[in-house]
Structure 1
Amino acid sequence: MPIQVLIVGAGPTGLVLALWLTRLGVSVRIIDKTSEPGTTSRALAVQARTLELYQQLDLAETVVAQGHRVPAVNMWAEGQHAARVSLEDIGTGSTRYPFLHIFPQDQHERLLIDRLAQLGAKVERQTELLNFTDRGDAILARLRSPDGNEQDCEAHYIVGCDGARSLVRNVVGSGFPGGTYRQLFYVADVDASGTVTNGELHIDLDDADFLAVFPLADSGHVRLIGTVRDERADHAESLEFGDVSDRAIRHLSLQVEKVNWFSTYHVHHRVTEHFRKGRAFLAGDAAHIHSPAGGQGMNTGIGDAINLAWKLATVLAGRAPDGLLDTYEAERIGFARRLVATTDRAFSVVTAEGRLADVIRTRVAPVLLPLATRFEAVRDYMFRTVSQIMVNYHDSPLSRGAAGQIRAGDRLPWVAAGGVDNHAPLKEIGWQAHVYGEAKAELAAWCTAHGVGLHVFAWRPEHDAAGFVRDAVYLLRPDTYIAFADARATPDDLNSYFTAQQIIPASAP
């Protein structure tokens, strides 16, 4: 009997996909050709939107408890502290998680693997995908097991979460247009002391190389991420920490006591041409890669996984036609393209060469950025952008209607007032309707009959300030984005929405 979904790659994207699918009752097989989880991670930030989505599997509070909240960003130039931007209240009022949170990918993966095991699933290590064929009614994959033997695996769908060199992407023939940054990146995990090990983020703006010191939860434990652009970049395979450490030591007065590990890598800025080809899907780095500016990569892959998971589960349960799966590409590829373009511009500014670029980076930026962030509107926009709570699906075929300032495709605005948190019900994985004010009896009856959770919140001024309309209905998808919004709040309107989408709503098992 075939499994339902074969997941290739056990990084954060593949693990999150496996977790959500397993939670939704889908049979999965997740394989990875490595012998163990990665230990030299590059991704560090877990954004607020990811933490919100993690509430669905009770992951958010664990990630927060085990990670580190960054209170400020510091800029250094010519060996001197040039500016400090506080992050203490930057996202207050926007989300339950109004902060920049550091939780390294290696720890993150271990947590996801443990949670997957609790649900009765595990990663099959040293198991490699060799090839696969889309037969139209199923996927037939050829795998190599740890003992070197080959076997066939039949699945309804295959998802490539297998990174920038994705075999799944190569087999389906989806191009990967873009380019490669000429700079060589390095990451070093070190135990150190000095001013820049105070639990805050520090960025050295000198020259055209980039260097950032990221705090970790353990005192005196930091990650250095930087670039090399001179002749040293041509010898990545022989480069050691001592070859790049002088800048951190000289400019930031960092005293390195122990180098736990050090690695180098090149970064690309690319987006695949298709996120779906038949029964094959691409997610995470297999679909899009970009510079580390803004800490977006891992979070975007996790967003891919959660977007795809509920759609696969719905189609596999026979509650929607195959066409629902087309909305995965429609919703995620546009965001990926905008993200790659944005991070590319940001990285280009930070690493630009020339006298003018040096002046802007070392003298102008340390003055203008702290001034700009004194304005609440600027701070709010910056946080909403980096935290990914601005991500929306306005143009999705699944989005219909508007009520007040809120449009279908938006993330549900967060309001915690009067001791009631309107995001608390989002822990449930399933369709649900929100009404702020009073819900008509016929609406309540319709929701009960169709397996749609109805949550009614007593009207408060804070709801009005957030853009809600009193007594309107806001229908939420299983991934907590608004699918339908209407001020009339009638059962006929909800019925019309589901009929048009050919979706049968139902609660999660």
Structure 2
Amino acid sequence: MSHDADVVIIGAGPVGLTLGNLLGADGVRVVLLEAGAELVDYPRAVGIDDEALRTMQTIGLVDEVLPHTVPNQKIFMVNGDRAILSEVDPRISEFGWPRRNGFVQPLVDRVLLAGLGRFPNVDVRFGAEVTDSTDDGSAVTVSYRTADGATHQVTATYLVGADGGSSPTRKRLGLTFEGETRATKGLVIDVNNDPIGTPHAVFGGDPKRGYATIRLPHGIRRWEFTLFEGEDEALVEDDAFVFGLLRSHVPDPEALDIIRRRVYTHHARVAGAFRVGRTLLAGDAAHVMPVVGGQGWNSGIRDALNLGWKLSAVVRGLAGDGLLDTYESERFGHVSQMVAISLNMAEEMTSHDEEFARERDRLAAARTAEEREQVRNQAFKPQPHYLDGAVVTAPSPTYKTLPAREVPSTAGTLFPQPRVRTTDACEVLLDHATGQGWRVIMWDNDPTAFLGDEVVAQLARLGGSLVRVVPTTQLPWDRVHTAESVVVVGDDGALKDWFDARPVGAVIVRPDHIIAAECLAQDLEATLRQVFAVAHVAQPAEERGEAVSAGAVAS
């Protein structure tokens, strides 16, 4: 069936833009509809994490994003007397990038929009307000109105609603949005020519009025203040009120170059479903959380990365429609964790209850050195761990070759991304060396020795790669003696340590860098076949005795 597009995306926020870049790179035909005349420029997210930067790397835009970031930005959590309760300062880069970074979202959004210009198959339409969408079981028809009042329609195989927390798409589907909206709101102020000049952020848990002050790139500083119940939102435009808030923070509030100010509401909600038929929700349309945890933007980017490769595989006939069901089964639990953590952090740092604040301070002072280190390394932020979806878990093998150890399976977690050496002696991040798609990675084994021609061909159809990791000392030898179809990378310890810590010699990594399965070398083919099954990977058309047309949904 011929449609105008493979995928229609509603919303040119960070999630819609990221998803458009992921699909565009795979040749998927995308129409992106945005009601506004241009990108939103008001104060928004200020923290980008390591997983999101890895996604920017995946879509080939990380070099353009990095100039708008503050790497390894430290956070001080303080009480009303400015005593330090905790420090968040993770210096870990297991996924290739700093774990915590400040950034200017409007500038990064512009990078994402400009990135879509690389793909003639992606059509971005601003000033396109969606008024309706219908799913007839074989296609989705989206109706929208342009600024001149004219109405238009576009048909697609799938629709993604990335249209924000008030998502009309979610409402049209009749989905619940369970959770809570906090009574207290926040006031955000951004200024040019940072009057403080320090590189870190401070979160002030002052029961008299909670606040945050954050250094952003390009000389910008952000303040966020808790508003009391009964304080009118119109106060955001009252200079006397705003200057009064800032008077205990800067020498001369009246001299500040205020560039943006806005009131926002703390929501903590999750949609009842992320998929209905051929319509899927992503980002704030599917979940919203208080800004204190700094994970709203990043959670949306995780949605886009998880959904992107799955949509691409399905519309290109490489996987069956059932693969899209794993988007909700994987993302729902992790997002719910993030919402709960963000809500707890918001309550801890913005409560007006003096007794609550004293108990919080007491508990912070009683932390052990180990607990303080966990906070420093941001251990409170849960990593994705997908137990139900396109992953295969297996009990640890019990062969005498392996020491008896209780080692949990890593299936469903992110595979690390250290720096490695290529056969031409270049030092690069792992994803650059191996490619961004499916990967079969083995420690010092040639994967072709353990895989039959059929599964190798199937992996190739998916755009996957076979990877042999060897000590760098072996690179000259393996460059000559390993099959030409295998990518050989040299490792000076990080990947060897990863394999040393686990009773496995092979790992299967998905396009979103999630470990689909791990196994011993001899079990590789059987495990890869299991992965193909749970990922609904389609058989080649010639094996089914039929043709798969472009954009068709594989069975």
- Matched residue of 2:313: which SS? helix
Deviates more, 1:309-318 or 1:76-85: 76-85
**How far apart in 2 are the matches of 1:368 and 1:94?**
30
Kindly state the Cα deviation for residue 145 of structure 1 after the two structures are TM-superposed. 1.9
Deviates more, 1:39-48 or 1:67-76: 67-76
Relative distance call for 1:57 and 1:427 in structure 2 (3 A) is farther
Identity %: 25
**C-alpha distance in 2 between matches for 1:407 and 1:55:** 23
Report the Cα offset of residue 249 of structure 1: 2.2
1:74-89 equivalence runs, <5 A: 74-78=76-80, 80=82, 82=84, 85=87, 87=89
- Report the equivalent of 1:226: 225
Q: Conserved in 1, the CA contact under 8 Å of 2:291 and 2:342?
A: yes
1:317-374: CA deviations, max 9, x gaps? 112211111111111111121211121122112223333223245x547745795665
Q: Are 2:387 and 1:394 aligned?
A: yes
- Mapping of 1:136-147 within 5 angstroms? 136-147=137-148
Equivalent pair of 1:158/1:279 in contact (CA under 8 Å) = yes
The one-letter code sitting in structure 2 at the alignment partner of 1:114 is A
Residues 39-50 of structure 1 aligned to structure 2 (within 5 Å) = 39-50=41-52
Range with greater deviation from structure 2 (453-462 or 156-165): 453-462
State how far apart, in whole Å, the 1-side matches of 2:534 and 2:194 are: 61
Deviation at 1:143, TM superposition (A): 1.1
SS of the residue aligned with 2:293?
Answer: coil
d(CA) in 1 for partners of 2:236, 2:77: 30
Give the corresponding residue for 2:248. Answer: 250
- Which residue in the other structure is 1:167 paired with? 168
- Identify the residue that residue 456 of structure 1 maps to in structure 2: 468
Q: How high is the TM-score relative to the length of structure 1?
A: 0.88
Give the equivalent residue in structure 1 for 2:443: 436
Q: Is 1:410 the counterpart of 2:413 in the alignment?
A: yes
Q: Give the Cα–Cα distance (whole angstroms) in 2 for the partners of residues 320 and 104 of structure 1.
A: 37
**TM-score (normalised: structure 2):** 0.82
Structure 1 residues without counterparts, runs of 5 or longer: none
Distance in 1, Cα, partners of 2:42 & 2:376: 32
Does the alignment pair 1:343 with 2:342?
yes
2:517 matched residue in structure 1: 484
Name 2:205's counterpart in structure 1.
205
Cα distance in 2 for partners of 1:93, 1:105 equals: 22
Asked which structure has the greater CA Rg, the reply is 2
Q: Residues 486 and 355 (structure 1 numbering): CA distance in 2 closer, same or farther, change over 3 Å?
A: same
Amino acid at match of 1:117: G
Q: Is the 8 A contact 2:319 2:537 kept in 1?
A: yes
Post-superposition offset of 1:432:
1.2
**Which residues of structure 2 form unaligned runs of 5+?**
397-406, 472-491, 541-555
Shift of 1:60: 2.2
2:499 maps to 1:494: no
Q: In structure 1, what is the equivalent of residue 354 of structure 2?
A: 355
* Partner residue in 2 for 1:474: 507
SS of residue paired to 1:401: coil
Give the 3-state SS of the residue equivalent to 1:250 in structure 2.
Answer: coil
3-state SS of paired residue (1:400): coil
Query: Would you say the 8 A contact 1:48–1:98 is kept in 2?
Result: yes
- Rounded to whole Å, the distance in 2 between the matches of 1:248 and 1:366 is 27
How many residues align? The count is: 495
Matched letter for residue 45 of structure 1: G
Residue in structure 2 matched with residue 21 of structure 1 by the alignment: 23
CA RMSD of aligned residues (A): 2.8
1:425–1:444 CA distance, 2 compared to 1 (3 A): farther
SS in 2 for 1:312: helix
Per mean C-alpha deviation after superposition, the further-off stretch among 256-265 and 77-86 is 77-86
8 Å contact kept, 1:45–1:295: yes
2:125 matched residue in structure 1: 124
Shift of 1:421: 6.0
SS of 2:130's equivalent in the other structure is strand
The structure-2 alpha-carbon separation of the partners of 1:397 and 1:23, relative to structure 1 and needing over 3 Å to count, comes to closer
How far 1:67 moved relative to its partner? 1.6
Question: Quick check: 1:415–1:423 contact (8 Å CA) kept in 2?
Answer: yes
> SS of 1:263's equivalent?
strand
Partner amino acid, structure 2, of 1:344? L
- For 1:59-138, what aligned pairs fall within 5 Å after superposition? 59-78=61-80, 80=82, 82=84, 85=87, 87=89, 90-92=90-92, 94-120=94-120, 121-138=122-139
Alignment correspondent of 1:266: 265
- What corresponds to 1:324 in structure 2? 323
